Amino acid sequence: MSFYALSGLINGITSTVLGIFIFLKVRRRGDNPLYISYVFFCLSVSVWSYFYFAWMITGIPQKALLYSRCLMMGAMYIPIFYLHHLLYLLGNFNEKKAIIFFGYLFTFVFLLFGFSPYYVESVSLKFCFEFWPNPGIAYHMFLILWFYFVAYGVYILLRSFKNTTGAKRNQIKYVLFATVCGWLGGATNFPLWYNIKIFPIGNILVSVYVIITAYAIIKHHLMDIRIALTRTGVFICVYVIALGLPLFLGYKYDMWKTAAYSSIILSFMGSFVYGYFKRRAENALLKEQIRYQVTLKDFSSKLIFIRDENELSEKLVSRIMEIVNLKFCAMYIFDRDKLYLKNIKCNGDISLPEKISFNDKFIRAFKNINIPILGEDLPEFKDLEIGMVAPLFSKQEFYGFIVLGQKTNNIMFTDTDIDVFSIVSNQVSLALSEIYYFNEYKKAIEEKFNILIEKEKLESAFQISEAYRHELGNIINIISMSLGDITFTENYNPGKEEIEHAAGSILANVKRAQYVFDVINLYNEHSVSEFKKVDLSEILSSIIRGYENECKACGIDIRNKIKKNIFFEINRNFEFAFKYLLEGAIGAIRYTLPENKIMEVGLEETAGNIHLRISDTGGNAAENKFYKGVGIVRAKDGGICYFLARRIMFDHNGTFKVKPCYDAKGTEFVIEFDVTK
């Protein structure tokens, strides 16, 4: 049996097996035009190949002529069946129905001449082939049609390859490669028809087209054809040496025993050699892809430290776009029954919906799948070319998804990309889980803090109301006593002097009551004023300067120990609080009349804290309770202005402490603010 006869038999068996395999798939899945048209293509190749084999091995001229005409009957349908299943594969069959119709029509016309001399005229000796066919008139026209269908098929493959991306583009690569191999191999049969000395050595390559096309149709996720060809090339090179060398030893030198042992050893070594060179070749081929995959893994490991959802989405989407070079990348976050667009980056004008229903068919395709899924396996989404979607799950809880566009270089996503984005999506899910847990914890802490604040407010309100009651009680008592002094009785008739004194006392206490109302109204009015960052040193020094004359008149030594250039955010109430504390200190000194009349104010900033100190020699307010005039004379638990000052400092996130000083003969107010908050 010659090599050429064997090539026909191999082509026939290959096309028959794959045709039956695809046919069985059609029966299981229902009618699929792509599968059915490919089955007919395999059928025509099988007819051609089996009669090709029979023609090659026969030694009878009459049978050779008959087999030649029979094999050409199968060959007539190969081009049109090829174009037919190719159009289904590319998805534009409906646009090209007319071409297919006329193709079948011309093929049917040629079929009428199939067994006549007009198609295959005779067989004769041509070089080493004893019975090679000679063409009839119809054969020349068939050959023109054959080349037209093949050329047109290559043309639409190239056009589709240019206009598609991702997995579809990779599928077209396979078919295009198969077309070049298969049809060039099959075309080596034609020269001898015209007495051109080119032997049909490429005939065996017809099986290459049948096998690769079947793989491209059936396989769900195609391997990058560059990797496939690299692995195939390395495999052939390694095993041609591993198996060819022993055969050469046995055939050339009749060393069959040595050949057997060496084939076992070389075959065993071949697997390791193949693995080594395969890795080296793929690392060189996929250098860029490996680079960004390593970078992505490293980047994703740091996401767990982010504590803000907006920051997470911004860094994630921007970094993926920068590393992988995509047409677009976006992140959606699930909230109740919808998914909301959190962030998007794109190259060009790409629009994504701001929100998507959880029951949208696009979401349903992956909402229960916790691994990345390629765009080819998803429903159409807003006419966008989706490269991959990475769902975000943590402990079966769905948080959202990352959607990736195609790569800008149109290279498809591979299995290693899926593995890498599985890691990325897991890290993002974990980061989101930590963010949500942190937010819930923060919310719980804030609720507890608010409860404490409310409690503090109630306590302060109670203390203020007590001071308020005390102040108004004093006022009412004084007014009552003054009215009693001018009451006419049988034994007492107040004179002009008594009436004027009582009227003056009543008027002073009415003003005193009005002042109490005013300070409370001022607090309420300015408590909602805007906080502004100011030079606190300058503001407090300016207020102190306003009291210098009053202190000088009373013989009070006012000492300003305020350090310069200390800035802090305050509202208008802060100035009133400081004034209340100064007035309380001055009033206390006037009331107690100490030997040394001293008031000192200090302000400094250390280790992220601002310290405000106001001290005086007007008695120890930490122990004594005394009142004087309006507002404070500054006792620890009394005085309406004292409590307002204390409340205002709390509003500025300050701490407020009262300590004895000057050998327990004075009072020091210590107020601290944390500027890092």
H runs (alpha helix) in 486-572? 496-526, 536-546, 548-554
Containing H/E element for 279?
Answer: helix 256-285
Looking at per-residue pLDDT, the higher value among 370 and 54 belongs to 54
527-674 has CATH 3.40.50.150 classification: no
- Sorted by where each begins, the domain ranges of the chain are 3-161, 224-285, 292-439, 527-674
Beta bridge mates, 386:
405
pLDDT of residue 285: 67
Task: Give the strand pairing for 598-606 and 557-562.
Answer: parallel
Note whether 382 and 362 are within 8 A (CB).
no
Cα-Cα end-to-end distance for the chain: 91
Strands (E), 288-385: 328-335, 338-346, 355-357, 373-374
Q: Indicate the pLDDT class of residue 170, thresholds 50, 70 and 90.
A: confident
Domains 292-439 and 527-674 share a fold: no
The answer on pLDDT for 43 being more than 70 is yes
pLDDT of residue 645: 81
Choice among 350-364, 366-380, 400-414, 443-457 with the minimum mean pLDDT: 443-457
Among 288-297, 304-313, 539-548, top mean pLDDT goes to: 539-548
Residue type at position 69: R
pLDDT of residue 448: 62
Does residue 117 sit in helix, strand or coil?
A: coil
What is the phi/psi pair of residue 40, to 5°? -65, -35
Per-residue pLDDT of 479-499, as tens digits, reads 655 555 555 555 556 666 666
Q: What is the residue-averaged pLDDT of the chain?
A: 82
Nearest CA to 522 out of 648, 395, 432 is that of 648
Q: Indicate the pLDDT class of residue 626, thresholds 50, 70 and 90.
A: very low
Q: Hey, what are 658's tokens?
A: 């009262």
Choice among 11-20, 51-60, 508-517 with the minimum mean pLDDT: 508-517
pTM check: above 0.85 = no
pLDDT of residue 257: 78
H runs (alpha helix) in 30-136? 33-57, 61-90, 97-112
Containing H/E element for 403?
Answer: strand 397-405
Residue type at position 335: D
The answer on pLDDT for 129 being more than 60 is yes
CATH architecture of the domain with residue range 292-439: 2-Layer Sandwich (3.30)
pLDDT of residue 503: 67
The answer on pLDDT for 631 being more than 50 is no
pLDDT of residue 248: 75
The answer on pLDDT for 464 being more than 80 is no
The answer on pLDDT for 654 being more than 80 is yes
